[in-house]
Chains A and B, each alone.
Chain A
Amino acid sequence: MKRMLWGCLLLMPWLAEAADLEVANARVRMPPPVSETAAVYMDIRNADVQAHRLTGVTTDAAAMAMFHGRDMQALHDIRLVPGEHYAFAPGGAHIMLMGLKRVLHAGDRIRLSLQFDGDRQLQVQAIVRDMR
């Protein structure tokens, strides 16, 4: 019983942290079938009282994934202001997938893993949308 309580106590901070960063509306711009790249968009909300940083992204759908600004320059670190949304959106910052491993069709889902400061991760599913 004592061990279970300790277990709960240890788990609690993790649960709280998982809930304070929320991802919504994750989608992939369906690329032409011959394309090796694609952009992923999503909204990340930092519901915490302190700032967080998004530090990395990986996916099994592509050889490489990285954050890009509108000017296509790589962003290494994205600051998430407490109580605010950060939007990866068309014509703005986006997650760029390079070296797609398969053709993406509208309605497909790809998995991404977002890494945040403090060794935290969030698993996200993004839906492929035909945005032509």
Chain B
Amino acid sequence: MQAWKTGLAALLMLGCIVGAAGLYAQRLQPSIPAYLARMGGDFALQSATGTVHLHDFRGKVGLLYFGYSHCPDVCPAALGVMARAMRQMPQALADRVYALFVSIDPRRDTPAHLQRYVSFFDPRMTGVTGTPQQLAALAADWRLEYVVPKAAADSQYTVSHSNFIYLINAQGQVVALFDEKTSPDAMASLMRRWLGR
């Protein structure tokens, strides 16, 4: 009888420990949805201050958005939400987050112009772009659809593009997708979880 009670108590304790460890692990490292498992990947793009790789940000959690600076509505809305999410991070995590704006319109968006554009939203944001070939390869990896019309750089044209804000974990993996309608609170809270806070 006594052995039976001891056994049950031990089993309950073990259950509690496993459960708590599971919860703790989940809090530290949420899981990546299966449909995102093969999305994303490293790149080398040009910023106003030189080449930027995704792996430069290893150890940090970031937000990445593809767009173009002549975009009047969804791009500024998305960058605004990203900037607000970054500002909502606790001071202790302020240097563990980053945001990238990748222009798919390099004909008009020079790295220098892009940097001035993104600084309006948050000085910590980085604007990057690449050659049309680099961007096409990147789009395939990141499941991005976009169409840049064949038009002169000084003409007024619009670029259509899919509209995701990618959340990237400290290992450089895409772990969640948002858009400009996602609340900055929700973004910031998931960023904290991926930083283990």
Contacts and interface: CB of A to CB of B under 8 A. Distances in A.
A91 B74 contact: yes
A6 B114 CA distance: 60
A94 B71 CA distance: 12
A94 B83 contact: no
B71 A37 contact: yes
Interface in B169-186: 180-181
B113 interface: yes
Interface stretch (B24-32, B56-64, B155-163, B188-196): B155-163
Interface in B22-79: 69-74, 76-77
A124 interface: no
B120 A32 contact: yes
A126 B80 CA distance: 21
Contacts of B113: 34
Interface residues of A, number: 26
B76 A131 contact: yes
Contacts of A71: 160
A124 to B, nearest CB: 17
A3 interface: no
Interface residues of B, number: 23
Contacts of B69: 32, 34-35
B84 interface: yes
A96 B121 contact: no
Nearest to A88: B73
Given A39-B73, A97-B72, A131-B77, A34 B117 contact: yes
Contact of A32 (B117, B156, B160): B117
Contact of B160 (A36, A72, A97, A98): A72
Contacts of A72: 71, 158-160
Given A34-B116, A34-B117, A131-B77, A91 B180 contact: yes
Contact of A29 (B76, B116, B158): B76
Contacts of B80: 131-132
B158 A68 contact: yes
A93 to B, nearest CB: 9
A94 to B, nearest CB: 5
B67 to A, nearest CB: 11
Interface of A: 29, 31-39, 63-64, 68, 70-73, 90-91, 94, 96-99, 131-132
22 contacts: A29-B72, A29-B73, A32-B69, A32-B76, A32-B116, A32-B119, A34-B113, A34-B120, A35-B69, A37-B70, A37-B71, A38-B72, A39-B73, A63-B156, A72-B71, A72-B158, A73-B160, A91-B77, A91-B180, A94-B72, A96-B158, A97-B72
Given A37-B72, A70-B73, 18 more contacts: A32-B117, A32-B119, A32-B120, A35-B72, A35-B117, A36-B70, A37-B71, A72-B160, A90-B77, A91-B73, A91-B77, A91-B180, A94-B73, A96-B72, A96-B158, A132-B83, A132-B84, A132-B121
Interface of B: 69-74, 76-77, 80, 83-84, 113, 116-117, 119-121, 156, 158-160, 180-181
